[in-house]
Amino acid sequence: MQTIKGPGIFLAQFMGNEAPFNSLSSICEWAASLGYKGIQIPTWDSRCINLQLAAESKTYADEIKGLVNSFGLAITELSTHLQGQLMAVHPAYDALFDSFAPKEVHGNATARTAWAAQQLRYAAKASQNLGLNAHATFSGALAWPMMYPWPQRPTGLVETAFTEMANRWLPILRYFDECDVDVCYEIHPGEDLHDGVSYEMFLDAVEQHRRACLLYDPSHLLLQCLDYLTYIDYYHERIKAFHVKDAEFNPTGKQGVYGGFQSWVNRAGRFRSLGDGQVDFKSIFSKLATYDYKGWAVLEWECCIKSAEQGAKEGAPFIQQHIIPVTQKAFDDFAGTGASEDFNRAILGLK
């Protein structure tokens, strides 16, 4: 078994224009002061990292790593959630997702996808330069608007979407393999990879590629009423990253999973700060330790009630208290009787 690394913190929701959230050095100092041991870096935020330079310059990557290490922190993973989203966008969302990309590719879906693919390649090489072996991202989505089968989907529509997803992702997965880095897709509503079945469809489409791995975030599974503990039993060999995020689902006679177009605070299902929701983290940490999960436990703060600063302050001790320093011996070793084949056969009455 393996003791999970942590606590880590995903910086994306905390970066801002005011200190200590406006530079990598100041936010590292802040995170370390709260008890975090690692940071997950959003690569689209230039205040944190120049992704292209980190890919092209080992010297620059070493400088970034050294800066983070100087605060007693490690880099857990790089994240390309925004760029990964742009690997596949249904035309219905073109205008909304253009903001994730540079202005020069706005209104040009083909150029935008090419830009995203290059960003993913930079992330693979930058991860290698930083000595990382896992990378966090989204899959993007072509079929998501067809998630509910009304009007009736044309025969083969979903298969066509997943074939196209595979065509776009396979070259990226192969490049990540060259860099010895796993691609950890966050299973998430809004992505074509939103549950176990859709992930398996994608795995089939990408020929079970060994780098097509998972970022486990139980909050998204709980809000789909999915058994997020059995999910670990199914997919533990593919889980290479872990967002520690809480959620609650309180359906009423008026709304359920779909939320009735309400704001986050008024939805039946909503994200909460750690300890304020319904996720059974004791069982999650136990299962991951049992299955020898070797990665980090990283706080992703998304709460519609509690402040980000308070959520971060409470998150580090919450994660630390749930990390299980795994035992190196059996609890009943003191009563051991030794072992030999002759002794075992004698006990069984065998000659």
Q: Are 57 and 100 in contact (CB under 8 A)?
A: no
Report the C-alpha gap between 130 and 135 in whole angstroms: 11
Report the C-alpha gap between 49 and 129 in whole angstroms: 13
- Domain ranges for the chain: 5-347
Out of 3.40.33.10, 3.40.50.1400, 1.10.240.10, 3.20.20.150, the CATH code matching 5-347 is 3.20.20.150
Report the C-alpha gap between 130 and 55 in whole angstroms: 9
HSE at residue 250, side-chain half, CA atoms within 13 A, is: 11
Q: Over its length of 351 residues, how does the chain's per-residue pLDDT go in tens digits?
A: 889 999 999 999 999 999 999 999 999 999 999 999 999 999 999 999 999 999 999 999 999 999 999 999 999 999 999 999 999 999 999 999 999 999 999 999 999 999 999 999 999 999 999 999 999 999 999 999 999 999 999 999 999 999 999 999 999 999 999 999 999 999 999 999 999 999 999 999 999 999 999 999 999 999 999 999 999 999 999 999 999 999 999 999 999 999 999 999 999 999 999 999 999 999 999 999 999 999 999 999 999 999 999 999 999 999 999 999 988 776 666 667 777 888 888 889 997
